[in-house]
């Protein structure tokens, strides 16, 4: 059978990857049910701190997928969550493309309900994107959405785990104020909800940079094709570049959305054909719906090998659905640390153009601005810098900068033979004067 973790969780098969490690389907021997287990190989302190923050989050809400328990075993730790089988919003768009407006409103209402519960705990999610919004496998019934992945969330007022000139999240879903170094706050999450809404309505990830530039230069644009005006009024408010011009709370957005739904036309008949499939696949040999089969042989998969293979393969790219806005890869990759100043210097994208695929970057190359990997990214110097309190420079650093920098690899060059001889002669002369002075007393 599979490897038993901490005497309780039997790892069955890998089902995905998160920002901090591999995600497994596991059998909880105590509760006698299948769960999702995020397994973290204990590595650097940063990753462990993020793990501690995520597993400590306890929010009981039907639209939130928060950790339920955790365990440690040798060099690995894990935490478990409910097993959600319907994939993410990225899977749904890959299957159907643009979704009917009323169906989108149902999804948005559930997302905002979960986000309101998160914000009520003082937590800013900081990574709202389609890949982190999961669905129960409800078939053609009413969809059931779960907001997940709190690996980079933080409570307001908590100390950051990154430097102040780094922004954490997923490129393409940053709020404009995040790129200026503002402290994490609820309006930034609501901006990302607006981008997710446009993604669901148009079937492709919108170009957030072009949208922000258009809003700033020309004001709020008219409703895009296929988006009803009442619904666009709500989405456009979420996408305002100035956080003071957006909705203040997720609950306020829900109220406005409910009013907009009353003005929407009925969805076309084919809207009833939207089905949320089970994306997990069958259980491997030796396991059944009620758990491991008695007498089944086999050692099960090794999570160390599977995690290594998944890391080598990299995140799988979700299919690119048709749409009239530029799109980028929709997979959720490993955390990266990138300098987006190269992206800021690039020419602005035009909303009607499809961006060319980015070449494979070298190890130290900055990520393409369309990257969907979650991580921390170095902030480019803003056009209007956010004032920061002055910090005294350490004396050692000041002394180091005052010295002339030697060429080459940074070592101090040895003195020449002539200089060494002169120093030796001066030392002998001082020694002789000292001896003569002692003999005169």
* Binding-site annotation: residue ranges: 38
Closest of 66, 49, 183, 69 to residue 124, by C-alpha: 183
Closest of 144, 107, 119 to residue 252, by C-alpha: 119
- Measured between alpha carbons, how far is 82 from 50 in angstroms, rounded to an integer? 20
CB 145 within 8 A of CB 111: yes
CB 371 within 8 A of CB 205: no
- Lookup result for tokens 């690119």: 320
Mark whether 127 is an active-site residue.
Answer: yes
Please compute, for residue 80, the number of CA atoms within 13 A of its CA located in the half-sphere on the CB side: 24
Task: Tell me which of 13, 28, 127, 149 is the catalytic residue.
Answer: 127
Binding residues for ATP: 38
Strand order in the sheet with 337-338: 166-169, 375-378, 337-338
3-class SS string, the chain: CCCEECCCEEEEEEEEECCCCEEEEEEECCCCEEEEEEEEECCCHHHHHHHHHHHCCCCCCCCECCCCEEEEECCEEEEEEECCCCCEHHHHHHHHCCCCHHHHHHHHHHHHHHHHHHHHCCEECCCCCHHHEEECCCECCCCCEEECCCCCCEECCCCCCCCCCEEEECCCCCCCCHHHCCCCCHHHHHHHHHHHHHHHHHCCCCCHHHHHHHHHHHCCCCCCCCCCHHHHHHHHHHCCCCHHHCCCCHHHHHHHHHHHHHCCCCCCHHHHHCCECCCCCCCCCCEECCEECCCCCCCCCCHHHHHHHHHHHCCCCCCCCCCCCCCCCCCCCCCCEECCHHHHHCCCCCCCCCCCCCCCCCCCCCCCCCCCCCEEEECCCCCCCCCCCCCCCCHHHHHHHHCCCCCCCCCCCCCCHHHHHHHHHHHHHHHHHHHHHHHCC
* Exposure string for 9-31, b = 16+ CB within 10 A, e = fewer: bbbbbbbbbbbbbbbbbbbbeee
The catalytic site residues sit at 127
């Amino acid at each position: 059978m599979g490897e038993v973790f901490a005497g309780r969780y039997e790892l069955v098969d890998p089902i995905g990857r998160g920002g901090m490690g591999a995600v497994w389907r596991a059998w909880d021997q105590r509760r006698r049910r299948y769960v999702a287990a995020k397994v973290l190989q204990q590595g650097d302190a940063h990753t462990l701190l993020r793990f501690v923050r995520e597993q400590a989050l306890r929010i009981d809400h039907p639209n939130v997928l928060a950790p339920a328990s955790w365990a440690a075993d040798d060099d690995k730790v894990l935490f478990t969550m409910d097993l959600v089988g319907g994939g993410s919003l990225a899977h749904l768009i890959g299957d159907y493309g643009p979704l009917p407006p009323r169906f989108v409103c149902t999804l948005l209402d559930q997302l905002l309900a979960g986000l309101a519960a998160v914000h009520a705990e003082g937590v800013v999610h900081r990574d709202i994107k389609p890949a982190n919004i999961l669905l129960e496998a409800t078939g053609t019934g009413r969809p059931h959405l779960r907001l997940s992945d709190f690996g980079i969330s933080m409570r307001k007022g908590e100390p950051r785990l990154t430097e102040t000139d780094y922004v954490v999240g997923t490129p393409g879903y940053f709020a404009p104020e995040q790129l200026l170094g503002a402290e994490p706050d609820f309006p930034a999450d609501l901006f990302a909800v607006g981008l997710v809404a446009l993604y669901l309505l148009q079937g492709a990830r919108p170009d957030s940079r072009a949208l922000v530039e258009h809003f700033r230069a020309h004001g709020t644009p008219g409703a895009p094709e296929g988006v009803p005006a009442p619904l666009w009024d709500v989405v456009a408010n979420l996408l305002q570049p100035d956080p003071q011009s957006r909705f203040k709370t997720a609950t306020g957005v829900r109220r406005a959305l409910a009013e907009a739904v009353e003005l929407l036309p009925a969805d076309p008949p084919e809207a009833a054909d939207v089905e949320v499939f089970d994306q997990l696949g069958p259980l491997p040999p030796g396991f059944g719906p009620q758990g491991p089969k008695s007498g089944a042989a086999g050692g099960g998969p090794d999570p160390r090998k599977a995690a290594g293979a998944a890391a080598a393969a990299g995140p799988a790219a979700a299919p690119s659905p048709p749409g009239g806005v530029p799109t980028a890869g929709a997979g959720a990759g490993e955390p990266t640390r990138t300098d987006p100043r190269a992206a800021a210097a690039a020419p602005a994208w035009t909303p009607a153009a499809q961006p060319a695929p980015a070449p494979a970057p070298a190890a130290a190359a900055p990520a393409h601005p369309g990257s969907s990997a979650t991580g921390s990214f170095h902030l480019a110097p803003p056009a209007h810098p956010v004032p920061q309190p002055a910090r005294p420079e350490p004396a050692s650093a000041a002394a180091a900068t005052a010295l002339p920098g030697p060429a080459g690899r940074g070592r101090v060059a040895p003195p020449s033979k002539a200089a060494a001889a002169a120093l030796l002669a001066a030392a002998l002369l001082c020694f002789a004067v000292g001896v003569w002075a002692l003999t005169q007393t």
